[in-house]
Structure 1
Amino acid sequence: MAFQVVDYRATDAAEQFAQSLCRTGVSVLTHHPIPADLVLAIHQSWSRFFRGGEKGRYRFNGRGQDGYFPARCSNVDSPASRAGLKEYFHFYPWGQCPPELRTELSHYFAQAGQLAAELVEWLQHWSPARRIQSLSEPLPQMIHASDKSLLRVQYWSSGHEDGILDVASTVAEANINLLTLLPTTQARGVQIQDQQGQWLDVPSQGDPLIVYAGEMLQELSGGELRVPVHRVLAASAGTGDSEPIALPFMLQPRPEVRLSDRYTAESYLNERRLQLGQL
């Protein structure tokens, strides 16, 4: 498996992105418009939040799924993975958030959402997947006026074995969507598992943005686009990247969007949340 590294500024970036996503379920964007300094600032401020004593005040709302999820509620991976080692915060613009942290997170959410919408346009126009080109409702229309996209601020405590912070499987909640956008740092790597079970490093030079296909996109495409198995590796000692934070932005369609004969977006999401113990 060869990962396509796409320069966002390139004249053929849209075509490269769509082909990569359809071939491997992943595309790696460099020179993207999300500022690295904003990502690092969120890492620092939210690390303080997770280490502090106020997080319990923002415990998640079971109906809205916004707010703080303690580690014991964070079993979002498959039984084969190391579940329960992380805690996280689900941020929606309409949901709860510590007031002093809302501005930074809102700024990031807006930029990630704008980029995700552009990537959906790219995929709709350039995807070689036949099913994507014959949807009853175009992908960009599916996300129009949706308030279900979310930003997860994910935190790991220290002491994980073998330097692996998280092993996300094909059923990880991070993939219950259309696209996931994950900014990276050079100190912490991301790996994708190929069809032979081998872990392959995703290029990390230049603080790229990794874009994953999600389960809803897989359902929409009739399986033509696959959800990749991925994991995030711990920072190496002495790298200076001391805060174990990840910021996946998860693009969701409107609840009534029909993914297939079996599911709407809402019914699919509810089924998966029930399986994960979140409903």
Structure 2
Amino acid sequence: MKRIPSVNLSDFISNDPDRKQKFVDAIGKAYEDIGFVALKGHFLDDKLVDDLYSEVKRFFSLPTETKQKYEIPGIGGQRGYVSFGKESAKGKKEGDLKEFWHFGQYVENNPKLEAEYPKNVTVEELPNFNTVGKKAYRMLEKTAKYVLRALALHLGLKETYFDDYIHNGNSILRPIHYPPITQEPKEAVRAAAHGDINLITLLMGAQGRGLQVQNHKGEWLDAIAEPEELMINVGDMLSRHTNNKLKSTIHRVVNPPKELWGTSRYSIPFFMHPISDMKLNVLEGCIDEKNPKAFDDITAGEFLTERLIELGLIKK
């Protein structure tokens, strides 16, 4: 596998059984082979994408002391602003060369989850920032729901298997700013090699070089999407739930060549998480003689806490 396969969500929602099955087979194979696909036909229109990038760039252009007003202590960076260099990849001392923001779930009719999740943070200086962020969050969540429906069919499950787990799920929209590099970064990179924690990640802004994916031979491949495509990958929760049938692939964002150090890079991943009490126990249909059960039983909430501690975002 030398490049990232491309699929079109309009095939899945076309009401044509052949096109739908072709999509299920293609995305299933891609996620078994490399864990990444480029997806066209999603629910984000061009205007919403442009509006979101404009708002995000405005926010990251604010003075540092203004942004730091929105850094909320005690919540492991799950909402609001996380300042430059705070997050590091699992097992890495150096902080990544990035700052970012977190929009979280807008809970509907569930007081228990409303009390469990941190509240979203409102940026007073930018009246449209939160409105546009919420709209993009909803469209990415909708796209992710259909991708998971296709994967449920690929796994021999009921098509709507994931629906109740992801409704009001603990998903995160993370606009990231990789600022210009002003001095030799030594060991630090924009985002060190890592796997994602969640079920699936939908990434806006993978146009141009930077994002790289490691295939099964250990080779790093450039993952470059077309302007209208999202890059979508399997996270560790889904990999664990499927006994590694669907692969959570290690990926990274490398530093640009020196002549481009003076430029910012923006990317906006949407991390699709389920509700915390979803059991990530290995699916029976993914266990056989060749593939014995590889993981202990755990809930999504327990797994997330473990990983936030490893990333340095929550202190033990």
Tell me the TM-score normalized by structure 2: 0.74
Any idea what SS the aligned residue of 1:247 has?
strand
Letter of the 2:132 partner, please give it. E
Q: Distance in 1 between matches of 2:258 and 2:51?
A: 21
Report how far residue 68 of structure 1 moved: 0.7
Shift of 1:235: 6.9
Structure 1 or 2, whichever has the larger Rg, is: 2
**How far is 1:14 from its partner?**
3.4
Q: Which residue of 2 aligns with 1:195?
A: 216
**2:239 counterpart of 1:218:** yes
Distance 1:246 1:206, change over 3 A: closer
Deviation (angstroms), 1:16? 1.7
In the alignment, structure 1 residue 228 sits paired with structure 2 residue 263: no
Q: State the 1:45 CA deviation.
A: 2.4
**What residue number does 2:149 align with?**
121
SS at match of 1:71: coil
After superposition, what is the alpha-carbon deviation per residue over 1:177-232, rounded to whole angstroms, capped at 9, x for unaligned? Answer: 10100023533453211122221122423431111100110111122222111123
Q: Which residue of 2 aligns with 1:8?
A: 9
Is the aligned partner of 1:71 residue 2:72? Answer: no
Identity rate, percent: 25
- Measured against aligned partners, the alpha-carbon deviations of 1:37-73 in whole angstroms (never above 9, x if no partner) come to 4333322322232231221111034337211111242
Map residues 68-107 of structure 1 onto 2, 5 A cutoff. Answer: 68-75=81-88, 77-80=89-92, 83-92=95-104, 93=106, 94-99=119-124, 100=127, 101-107=129-135
3-state SS in 1 of match to 2:192: strand
Per the alignment, residue 130 of structure 1 pairs with none
Contact 2:96 2:192 in 1 (8 A): no
TM-score normalized by the length of structure 1: 0.83
Q: Kindly indicate whether residue 154 of structure 2 is the aligned counterpart of residue 142 of structure 1.
A: no
Is the Cα contact below 8 Å between 2:177 and 2:266 reproduced in 1? yes
Name the CA shift for 1:203/1:276 in 2 (closer, same or farther; >3 Å).
closer
The answer to whether 1:183 aligns with 2:183 is no
Q: Deviations over 1:221-268 (max 9, x none)?
A: 1222221111235678999xx642111001111111111243101111
Number of aligned residue pairs: give it: 266
**Residues 1:151 and 2:173 aligned together:** yes
Kindly indicate whether the alpha-carbon contact (under 8 Å) linking 1:30 and 1:206 is maintained by their aligned counterparts in 2: no
Q: Say whether the 8 Å CA contact 2:206–2:230 is kept in structure 1.
A: no
Q: Which has the higher contact order (CA 8 A, sep 6+)?
A: 1
The corresponding residue for 1:30 is 40
Give the root-mean-square deviation of aligned CA atoms: 2.9
Contact persistence 2:277–2:300 (CA under 8 A): yes
Which residue identity is paired with 1:144? H
- Where structure 1 has 5 or more consecutive residues not aligned to the other structure, the ranges are 128-132
Q: What per-residue deviation string (whole Å, max 9, x for no partner) do you get for residues 114-137 of structure 1? A: 11111111110123xxxxx469x9
